[in-house]
Amino acid sequence: MAARPAAARPAAARSAAARTEPESTGAEAIVRSLDMLGVTDVFGIPGGAILPTYDALMDSPRIRHVLVRHEQGAGHAAEGYAAATGRVGVAMATSGPGATNLVTAIMDARFDSVPLLAITGQVSSEALGTDAFQEADIVGITVPITKHSYLVTEASEIPGVLAEAHRLALDGRPGPVLVDITKDAQQGTAPFVWPPEGHDAPAASTAKVSRSQIRRAADEIARADRPVLYVGGGAVRAGAAAELRELADLVGAPVVTTLMARGILPDSHPLNLGMPGMHGTVPAVLAMQRSDLLVAIGARFDERVTGDRAQFAPDARVVHIDIDAAEISKLRHAHVPIVADARTALPELTRALRSRDARADLGAWWSFLDGLRQEYPLGFSPTSDGRIAPQHVIQRIGRLTGPEAIYTAGVGQHQMWAAQFIGFERPQAWLNSGGAGTMGYSIPAAMGAKVAVPDRVVWAIDGDGSFQMTNQELATCAMNDIPIKVAVINNSSLGMIRQWQNLFYGRRYSNSDLGTGQDTVRIPDVVRLAEAYGCAALRVEDESEVDEAIGTALAINDRPVVIDFVVSADAMVWPMVPQGVGNDRIRYARDHEAAFGDGV
């Protein structure tokens, strides 16, 4: 992944010179350190081991705390806050189950390179290792899924550790950092020193790009007949949209944007072929497969993009730009590895290309790709049962709301349809759980995004399965004046599980029916549940009602809105590359495998 932009760095310490103030408690030091780091919003829920810090929070004039209903909601809200802004999202929890409830969000942030600071309370130092009430070794639990996990046992350590953790969450490849602070450290006292020693050290991402590697990459691009710019979520984290567009316009090569990179290049841009991968567009998937050069930018060759890696892009050489050296050549050999922040490397590559007198003619390549665009456009068929097509609902939400909104998604069919049928014209407009595939991400992430960017419309597009995992955060939204809009794509089932059961398990629908839709027991009744949480709620069961319901939701801004869109259970996500096969086996529809010939 690539690094986040310099503009997203935390606010400078309020005093450039180190300052020692009278003693404060460790809890006060936590709050004051967050304030000095520019943190304005924290998501969390109190418990005994973190209670001293919650007491200190009451005296903060600048930090807003949002009381969630479950710690997983705090973690995903902090993720949504970070993904929408590039700033560090902060989640806070108590020890034991409070801390372990954050683990899913921490793992999610690690997969998707989200800068997350998790602060947890811990039992007192003398009780560590005794199986004390609500004791859990959260540092040991999270070491494999964080950039670093700290245990703090002295009040004097708190400012330095929090400053280092905050910076580490952002530097290089962004990700989660956990700081576990014992209760006696919160209650103890020490002089408050700010900034801590070493806090102003230069960031690792300022390292220079290798000019020789840039020249080699430019040579590869200049002579390629079938190049593809393969752009991943790291380019979004790097804030490299303008730099990518300049390079793409210069090269004239097709661009594919992964699930995590939707919007980094506008969908309306003529070079954009859309999303590659298991449910990508046919032109994007086959362009990669037929390419002779892949320029991977902040992407990691995930199997959901490559399919069977042994059959992936067999003729392609690889230029790989990534801030994380561990990702380069991990899954696909890089002929030209460039360890660098995308926002720094791309202008260097563009300058090197401008100095080339000649580049390959891409006319035949584009003739092949434009033929694929014409033959295999994204679309959907009428449903077999006469109920609403879920793709239509999501497409209308995108068109009626527009590209300036923020859209989050849970995980499953609705996530893929949202990635396919909403037109994304800017980065940080599409937030979802890519690497971990975390159901329940959508509503709390939307909540966090709305707190971070209150002037934007924020839609949570959720399935009825994902909705039931974190819908308690609707109470948080209602109580804290966070007016998100939620579209429940209610097919009364675990939709992606049902699709796989339909295609690969002989239509044996084992434990995928949820009973939430039309002609079922409707447990829960989405409308009544939303109303109980203080939300405006609507149900839509006919296609003629879709636009009016979306318009009604867009007009309500004084509370959250939930729309129960009752859709067909038979709708499937197409195109699709079945798991375990090569991408040339992409299926455009159930009985239509896309032809893959020589082409060029």
Catalytic residue among 23, 134, 472, 543: 134
Among candidate residues 183, 243, 301, 368, the one labeled active-site is 183
485 is catalytic: no
Query: Whose CA is closest to 293, among 228, 213, 215, 231?
Result: 228
On the 0-12 / 13-18 / 19+ scale of CB atoms within 10 A, 267 is: middle
Q: Where are the beta strands (DSSP E) in 13-147?
A: 19-25, 41-44, 64-67, 89-93, 116-122
- Please confirm, yes or no, whether 208 is among the known catalytic residues: no
3-state SS assignment for residue 105? helix
Rounded distance between C-alpha atoms, residue 56 and residue 186, angstroms: 10
Largest CA distance in the chain: 75
Residue type, 521: V
Q: Which of 71, 157, 164, 327 is catalytic?
A: 71
Q: Which of 92, 275, 469, 496 is catalytic?
A: 496
Q: Round to whole Å and give the CA distance between 193 and 190.
A: 9
- Kindly state the helix (H) or strand (E) to which residue 296 belongs, with its residue range: strand 293-297
3-state secondary structure 529-598: HHHHCCCEEEEECCHHHHHHHHHHHHHCCCCCEEEEEEECCCCCCCCECCCCCEHHHCEEECCEECCCCC
Amino acid residing at 550: I
Measured between alpha carbons, how far is residue 49 from residues 125, 136, 351, 466 in Å? 11, 11, 54, 31
Helix intervals (H) in 208-362: 211-223, 233-237, 241-251, 282-290, 303-306, 342-354
The residues pairing with 178 across neighbouring beta strands, listed in sequence order, are: 118, 149
> Catalytic one among 133, 404, 504, 548?
133
User: 587-589 and 592-593 as β-strands: parallel, antiparallel, unpaired?
Assistant: antiparallel
The question of whether 467 is a catalytic residue gets the answer: no
* Residue 576 bears catalytic tag: no
Sign of torsion, CA 10 13 18 24?
A: negative
Structure-block tokens of residue 386: 């006469």
448's tokens:
């966090």
Q: Which two tokens stand for residue 239?
A: 């804030």
- For residues 160 and 153, the answer to whether their CB atoms sit within 8 Å is no
Let me know if 71 is a catalytic residue. Answer: yes
* DSSP per-residue string spanning 143-211: GGGSSEEEEE-SGGGHHHHHHHHHHHHHSSS--EEEEEEEHHHHHSEEEEEESPTTTTPPPGGGPPP-H
HSE-CB for 411 with a 13 A CA cutoff: 14
Annotated catalytic residues are: 71, 133-134, 183, 496
